[in-house]
Amino acid sequence: MIDVLTFGETMAALRAEGPLILGGTLNLSVAGAESNVAIGLARLGHRVRWAGLTGADEFGRLVTRTLRAEDVDVSRAGTTDAGPTGVVVFEPRLADLTRVGYCRSGSAGSRVSAAHLAPALAEGARIVHVTGITSALGEQPRRAVESAVRTAAAAGSLVCLDVNYRARLWSREEAALTLRPLVRDVGVLVASEDELALAAPESAGTEQARVDALLAAGVHEVVIKRGASGAEVFTADGSASLPAQQVSVRDTVGAGDAFVAGYLSALLDGEPPQGRLHRAVCTGAFAVASYGDWEGLPARHELPLLRAEPGSALR
């Protein structure tokens, strides 16, 4: 059985070397929250399947070629003529601040449906990973996420939901209305401090009240990402926390996805909560210390590199 099944929109990623208004070079790669997680897990040695949709174009072929090269199973991915592969543009503006723009309206990724996902779900997975981003792309992908979460939970898969709120895609009110009903089938919920309220009941007014309400609703683990302060996980048995790994920050884009990949990897390996957080903050550190959404994610044997002295050369 596949360890992790995920889906969502993966786009062609254009990275500028400076302000777009000045022109210049754009580097081409791919990017998408779910495929970032898939690549991170594959590099850590897990069997991962990505079942998204791309356009029948060269950008779409780049997406599937890249994922295949990273040992991600794309046998249940699809192409469609109904829309092009989306494009995301990254524009650096300050040392560690990046402006992100999208060309994804009507894209192939926004055409994903429950029918498209059914074969991949029928084949099963230990974990099915979804994000709030896919639900924000339109009514059809929202229904696809709802169906996938219900189907996976009914089949005995652990469902992981990363809230991953994107203000440019929908309002907080829209996000809450969509994500709160999913919670009843979610086993692992991941959110930043400001995202937690989008999954918890509106009546819960504090972080602890939100955590308690989510655990009472059936969520097994509530994982809160606290950025540079680290992360904390809450379960029915208590909580565990861990500070972030201290590294030189180059690019924060994709750090949350790297964190999720590390957390799910350790969960699959049977690590306790503290061990899950440790691997999660390690993979997050690799992400922020490297350029790109996923390019700097570590292989399993590279995790100990964080213990090396800064500025050292391994000879």
Establish if 156 belongs to a structural domain: yes
Task: Report if residue 313 sits inside a domain.
Answer: no
User: What pLDDT does 98 receive?
Assistant: 81
- Local confidence pLDDT in tens for the 315 residues of the chain: 899 999 999 999 999 988 999 988 999 999 999 999 999 999 999 999 999 999 999 999 999 999 999 999 999 999 999 999 999 999 987 766 788 899 999 999 999 999 999 999 999 999 999 999 999 999 999 999 999 999 999 999 999 999 999 998 999 999 999 999 999 999 999 999 999 999 999 999 999 999 999 999 999 999 999 988 999 999 999 999 999 888 888 777 889 999 999 999 999 999 999 999 999 999 999 998 888 889 999 999 999 988 877 666 776
Contact 63, 8 (CB under 8 A): no
Catalytic site residues?
A: 257
57 located within any domain? yes
H/E/C letters for each residue in 74-143? CCCCEEECCCCCCEEEEEEEECCEEEEEEECCCCHHHHCCHHHHHHHHHHCEEEEEEEHHHHCCCHHHHH
Instruction: Specify whether the CB–CB gap between 127 and 121 falls below 8 A.
Output: no
Assess if residue 205 is contained within a domain: yes
Round to whole Å and give the CA distance between 2 and 109. Answer: 22
CATH of the domain at 36: 3.40.1190.20
| pLDDT at residue 315 in the model | 67
Say what the pLDDT of residue 251 is.
Answer: 77
Strand (E) or helix (H) holding 263: helix 255-268
Q: Is residue 169 part of a domain?
A: yes
DSSP label of 251 = -
> Is there a contact between 170 and 204 (Cβ–Cβ < 8 Å)?
no
- Terminal alpha carbon distance of the chain: 39
Tell me whether residue 15 is in a domain: no
Question: Does any domain span residue 22?
Answer: no
Count of structural domains within the chain:
1
Contact call for residues 103 and 20 (beta carbons, < 8 A): no
Please state whether 135 falls in left (phi above 0), alpha (psi between -120 and 50) or beta. alpha
- Domain range for 237 is 2-9+32-84+105-294
pLDDT of residue 254: 87
Instruction: Judge whether 304 lies within some domain.
Output: no
Instruction: Give me the pLDDT at residue 18, please.
Output: 87
